[in-house]
A and B are shown apart, each in its own frame.
Chain A
Amino acid sequence: MRNKDLSNLMSLTKEPIIKIQGLTKEYYNKVVIDNVNLEIQDSCFAFLGPNGAGKTTIMLMLLGLVKPSNGTASIFGTDMLKSLGKMRRRIGFLPENVGFYPNLTGRKFLKLISGLRSKVLGGDNQIESYLEWSGIDRSYWDKTIKTYSRGMQQRLGIAQAFAGDPKIVFLDEPLSNIDPLGREEFIQKIRMKREEGVTVIISSHIVLEIEQIADYIAFIDNGKIKASDKIYNLAQFYGFDEYEITRIDHNESMTLKELNELLSTEKDIFSDVSKALREKIIFRTDNPEKVDKILLNYKDFKFTPISGTLNKLYKKIIKG
């Protein structure tokens, strides 16, 4: 299996927000995380791998909840095991199998959590905006959490992770227990949070979710990082050259057709004829980095390898 070091491959040279060096975790002499080195920049970063690969353990070590057997993990340059609250309060977290105080109402729980992350107690309007954002029916806002369905609890869990305006949010399997329409809704909401400048770290074993949200991916298996980089760089590295541009927002007046024409005028982009469909542009390129740079100026559009590529990458990298 070919390994790629993220620190060498990340195309942008911004200072990393998260730095992981030689991170190792052993349980009863069994190595579950094996010498992981990563640098994560301000982006939407996803850990992708099968169940038990070590995704959650890495997250918990980053959050200072699990002690590494070796190595260090720092966020904004601060070791999370030594960091005091000031740093921790800039971080939101949704654990897998999230739990709550069952006798608190959704409103009171969000008030508690937002108070723990910010220096002022969120007013009713602010708390209601979190509840509104979560998509939980208004009639449940003042009911105790024990009366919530699993899906509603998951929605509340995601909302609490973003409550109090954290700078980094860790989401462990965020869209489990949520119905397909709800998933679409949250993918859009997480994208918007990303646009507001929140760094999002996601762990999942569901490829489709990650494909729609993440900018960077680390494939992890048996506690080892198998490959990590921008999705299009990985696709290119592993020999996939089909990409697509989709519209994800409608803030600008430029149409997909116009964008297609703009890209056509650039040299070294399309290596074949591009197809401008109603919802997306499909094309082949050997220069995805250039496309990505151009699209930095057009926030309404998302550039990714063609749908299904990540699944093929997953099979190639994880299953060999």
Chain B
Amino acid sequence: MKRENKMKSSLFYEKHLFSFYLKNRILSLKFLICLLLLMIPILQILNDYIFSTNIPIHLRLNQSLLDRILYWEDFIASYGFFLIFLPIIISVDIISEEFSNKSAMILYSTESRNKILFIKLLSLMSAISLLTIIYFSTFLIAIFITTNYLVSIDIFLIGFLFVYLEFIFIASLTFMISALTRNVISSFFLPFLYLILNPFLEVLELGLLSYYSYKMKVFNFFRYMFFQEIIIFSNITAICIIAIFGLPIMIILITFYTFNQFDIRVD
């Protein structure tokens, strides 16, 4: 009992700051804009497959088409590119905000930088998770209501993981740039520029720097596995899987290390 009380009081700071940042993320205009943008692909898919024709749904759609075309090719692959900007919008000011409004010195005098960064990161990841869950559950519900079909669970989960990991990568990249530059404008434009240039990096033989090239290799591996029942698991696939899981972790570790080297001074 005694230990429990101690635990409760010792985590008060963390809970207090976490709830402040989470509210800041979720109850903001940015989050609302992201929610509205998320609805665009869902409405587009519904329009393309359901509302634009009078042919009964059971004649046009079956489980296989739903999984392969509607979900995997359209919802995950095509519209994924459109959504990559959402994590930037959500995380653009996560660290630079206090440097812009000059409240950084008060905040960072209350706790160790690592703890504050960790709480910020946790609130960011929570907001990203919430956004992804809303996106996928809205899609799932909308499709079920209009077609009476549900996406196969294994395909659904892998697709979810794909989009979620990409969001996490982009959010951690923006988080890092926000921490390093402590400037909102560069925190928006640098990740934006990277994502725009991403598909071209492979053409310029800079594939190692391209998240897109890692993603596509893993994406194609699962596409063959699910829809053509061919498993082509090479060393490159393994490296790419490690990369899409490991890159956000690496970026976050670099951010923590580098942020600790700065002087926090806002004049």
Q: Chain B, 1-27, contact with A by CB distance < 8 Å: what is the 0/1 string?
A: 000000001001100110010000000
The answer to whether A85 and B101 touch across the interface, beta carbons within 8 angstroms, is: no
Q: How far is the CA of A65 from the CA of B102 in the complex (A)?
A: 14
In the complex, A18 has a CB within 8 A of chain B: no
A64 to B106, CA, bound (A): 12
Chain A CB within 10 A, most for which of B97, B108, B112: B112
User: How close is B169's CB to chain A, nearest CB, in angstroms?
Assistant: 28
Given A60-B265, A66-B265, A116-B16, A93 and B106 contact (CB-CB distance below 8 Å): yes
Given A101-B101, A116-B16, A119-B12, the answer on whether A65 and B111 have CB atoms closer than 8 Å is no
Q: A64-B109, A99-B102 are in contact. Are A89 and B13 (CB under 8 A)?
A: yes
In the bound complex, CA of A99 to CA of B263 (Å): 17
Q: In chain A between 111 and 139, which residues have their CB closer than 8 angstroms to a CB of chain B?
A: 112-113, 115-117, 119-121
> Is A305's beta carbon under 8 Å from chain B?
no
Let me know if A67 is at the binding interface, CB within 8 A.
Answer: yes
In the complex, whether B264 has a CB less than 8 A from a CB of chain A is yes
Contact check, A97 vs B102: say whether CB atoms are below 8 A apart: yes
Which of A66, A93, A99 has the largest count of B CB atoms less than 10 A from its CB?
A: A99
Q: Which chain A residues in 70-85 approach chain B with CB under 8 Å? A: 83-85
Instruction: Assess whether A197 is interfacial by the CB under 8 Å rule.
Output: no
Q: How far is the CA of A96 from the CA of B105 in the complex (A)?
A: 10
Interface hits, A10-53 → B, CB 8 Å: none
Using Cβ atoms and an 8 Å threshold, which residues of chain B touch A88? 109-112
A288 within 8 A of B: no
A98: chain B residues within 8 A (beta carbon)? 102-103, 106
Contact of B110 among A66, A95, A101, A116 (CB under 8 A): A116
Question: Which chain A positions have C-beta within 8 A of B110?
Answer: 85, 88-89, 113, 116-117
Q: How far is the CA of A120 from the CA of B13 in the complex (A)?
A: 9
- Please indicate the chain B residues that have their CB under 8 angstroms from the CB of A97 in the complex: 102, 266-267
In angstroms, how far is the closest chain B Cβ from the Cβ of A180?
Answer: 25
B263 touches which one: A65, A85, A95, A120 (CB < 8 A)?
A65
A288 CB, min distance to chain B CBs, angstroms? 36
- Cβ–Cβ contact A99 & B266, under 8 A: yes
Given contacts A66-B263, A119-B13, 15 further A-B contacts (CB under 8 A): A60-B105, A65-B264, A88-B110, A88-B111, A93-B105, A95-B106, A96-B267, A98-B103, A99-B98, A100-B101, A100-B102, A101-B103, A113-B110, A116-B110, A160-B106
Instruction: List residues of B whose CB falls within 8 A of some A CB.
Output: 9, 12-13, 16-17, 20, 97-98, 101-112, 115, 261, 263-267
Q: Which residues of A contact B (CB under 8 A)?
A: 60, 63-67, 83-85, 88-89, 91, 93-102, 112-113, 115-117, 119-121, 160
